[in-house]
Each structure stands twice: as structure tokens, then as C-alpha cells.
Structure 1
Amino acid sequence: MRLVATLLLIAGLPVHMAVAASIHQHGVAQLDMVIEPPMVAITLTSPLANLTGFEHQPTRHEELAVWDATLVKLRQADELIRFPEGADCSLSRVELHLPYTPDSHEQMHHHAHEHETSHSAAHADLMAEYQYLCADSRKLNALELPLMHHFPAIEHLELQLITPDGQHRHMLNAGHTRLSLP
């Protein structure tokens, strides 16, 4: 029950505070996971450059295509995060917190020339929240994270886990995407 209270406290924080609390480092992303059977909540936070190759608001057609493809990929959580089949986990919610909301493609095209010269060194992060329900959480013994294959600019994935038996920290790299769960 205290894990649920912790999760609710974390969920109640404004998104910009949670994003600001993470360290912005290209090549590194954070994955926070709370397991409170039957619920599993996962938050992925990453510099936008790890996901799209750029951090500014997309303005050119090529950038818009990459942006749209990235959002589609992030919404397909089952392609990025895999649980053991026996745990019978199903995705119940996906929420993306974007660093900006792109205008319509036409408006962006009109303003492309203005933005081309204003691409500053500003940093932008993206946060994705996933919530799962697992029918048999006793079989929740591992996690496969192919998200690093889908986003090869993520070289290291820092994981923080809160489980019924405590807190855990792990670091995965692109060659090691499987995590044994306590």
C-alpha cells in the first residue's frame, strides 16, 4: 500500500519538475519503474536528441516525419518494453509528455525559415508514462527493453525500481537489454 502512496505522490508532481530533476545527458535515458501487484508503472525520460536526433521543434518535412514516427513508436509500448508471457501483462495507459506541441504541418512549414536560424543549444526532454496490469505478477521476474534497439542513440539506460521488497538501481547498455527483476 505504501508503494501506491509513493506512486501517487510521484504522479502528483508537475511534469516539468520531474523532467527538470533528471540530468540531461545525450546517450543516457532514465527508466523508473514501480511494481505494486497487479500494477506496473513505468516512466521513460530521455533527451529528445536520443529519440529524434534533434532537440528543437521540428520545422522541416524530414524532421516532422521523424517526429511523427517517434511519437508512433513511443505509443507502441509493447514493442519497447516486454514482460514475461506468463505474467500476462497488458498495457492499460500510455501518456506522452512532450517538450512542445508542434503546430500543424502547414504552420510549421511557413515558420521554418524563422526557426532555422533560432535553433539554440536549448535542451529538450521527452517523458513517456506506461501503466500495465499483470494477471500473474509472481511470474514478473524479468524485463526485456528493446527500446534501446529502436532508439540506438540511447547508449545507457539508468533504471530505478521500486518493488515490494525495496528499491533497486541498475544500468543497462545497448548490448545488455534484459533485466532480472527481484
Structure 2
Amino acid sequence: MKLIRKTSLLLLLGTGLLPQVGLTAGVHQHGVAQLDVVIEPPALTLALHSPLANLIGFEHPPATAEEQALWAELQEHMQQPELQLLLPQAADCSLQSSDMNDPFAHHAQHSHTHEDEHDDDHDHADLTVEYHFHCTRSEYLKHLDLPLLQNYPGIEKLEVRMLTPSGQHLQILQTPDQRLTLP
């Protein structure tokens, strides 16, 4: 995977948060997504990790016109962070960059020569999207609103792992919760 998950690595290696709460990176569980939040003023980094089934209902490369349309729409929507999360206006945040992995890249790399060959990993596709913001007034980052929970009802539970100036934190949001209070 070409996408470098800086926030995931930071959380996994730097904080020890995941072993403390029993979560592991890369766990593929339908209905569950993870959001990593790193606040290092003035920088704010958010990384969403989700099985593709939570977002578009399937995890194989799109084969039909309808699946291709769903995949294209998801890609377009994920490039618009305001459709996934709303930051407080007072924090004066501007998007610096965003990056999204290609969840189907491994399908192109693994060609099957025998129909009886099967690897369960080929049945799973995860999407990771990272957003990097610069917030000139990061002291106003008191909450995030998460319309992604309403936009993608396949996400039944959102595990939010945070690294902030006040330390490491974990919150579990379950729909219809859409507001994340930041410590």
C-alpha cells in the first residue's frame, strides 16, 4: 500500500494506546470504522479507516455499472472532507492535503491462474482517507461534527483514537451520535 499512515503509525508506535484498549490496526470488521485524530497545533490530522462494505456495500472491484457509479461517487465524496466532518469555524482550519488509498490495488497485483485458488484476503477491501489541516486558532477545536455517520449508515460504530496536547484518548461513537467532543 502506497499510502503512508502517519497517524496510525504515530498512534501504534508512539503512544501505546492501542494495546491498552485492546484495539489493533487493520482489523476488518463490518459495521465498525476507526477515526484517528492527531492534534499538534497548528496541525490537525484525521485518518478514517473503514471496510469498504460499510461505505458502498461491497468489497470487490466494481463490476457492474451501478457498482462503478457507487465507487466513483465515494471517491468524489471522500475528496470533500466537509462531507465527512465539520470543524468549528472559529478554529480557522484550512485543508492542506488529503490522500486516499486504492483498496483494489491488491486485486490487480494478484492474478489467479487456477479457479480453485482462493485467498480470503481478496474478499476484503479497506479504505483509508487522510485529511491534513492547518488550524490557525486550534484552541477552538473543542468538537467535530461527523456527518459521515449519517451519510454511511453501514458504519454502526466509530472508534475514535485521539492524540492531543492533553494526552491520548479513546471514544466510541454509535449512530446516531454525530458529535465528537475533543479533550
1:79-94 equivalences under 5 Å are 79-94=83-98
8 Å contact kept, 2:60–2:104: no
Q: Kindly state the Cα deviation for residue 134 of structure 1 after the two structures are TM-superposed.
A: 0.5
Partner of 1:134: 135
Partner of 1:22: 26
Q: Kindly state the Cα deviation for residue 8 of structure 1 after the two structures are TM-superposed.
A: 9.7
| Letter aligned with residue 152 of structure 1 | P
| Letter aligned with residue 30 of structure 1 | Q
Residue 32 of structure 1: which of 20, 36, 43 is its match? 36
Q: Kindly state the Cα deviation for residue 10 of structure 1 after the two structures are TM-superposed.
A: 3.6
Runs of 4+ in 1 over 3 A off after TM superposition: 6-11
Partner of 2:74: 70
Q: Kindly state the Cα deviation for residue 63 of structure 1 after the two structures are TM-superposed.
A: 0.4
Q: What is the rounded CA distance, in whole Å, between the counterparts of 1:60 and 1:72 in structure 2?
A: 18
Structure holding more helix per residue: 1
Q: What is the rounded CA distance, in whole Å, between the counterparts of 1:8 and 1:96 in structure 2?
A: 14
Q: Kindly state the Cα deviation for residue 30 of structure 1 after the two structures are TM-superposed.
A: 0.3
Where do 5+ consecutive residues of structure 2 fail to align? 1-5, 14-23, 107-117
Q: What is the rounded CA distance, in whole Å, between the counterparts of 1:45 and 1:24 in structure 2?
A: 10
8 Å contact kept, 2:7–2:36: no
Residue 53 of structure 1: which of 50, 57, 73 is its match? 57
Q: What is the rounded CA distance, in whole Å, between the counterparts of 2:42 and 2:51 in structure 1?
A: 30
| Letter aligned with residue 154 of structure 2 | A
Partner of 2:163: 162
> 1:104-153 deviations in whole A, cap 9, x for unaligned?
xxxxxxxxxxxxxx9x7711111001101101011111111111111111
DSSP 3-state at the match of 2:150: helix
Partner of 1:149: 150
8 Å contact kept, 2:144–2:179: yes
Q: Kindly state the Cα deviation for residue 79 of structure 1 after the two structures are TM-superposed.
A: 1.6
DSSP 3-state at the match of 2:172: strand
The answer to whether 1:179 aligns with 2:180 is yes
Q: How many residues align?
A: 157
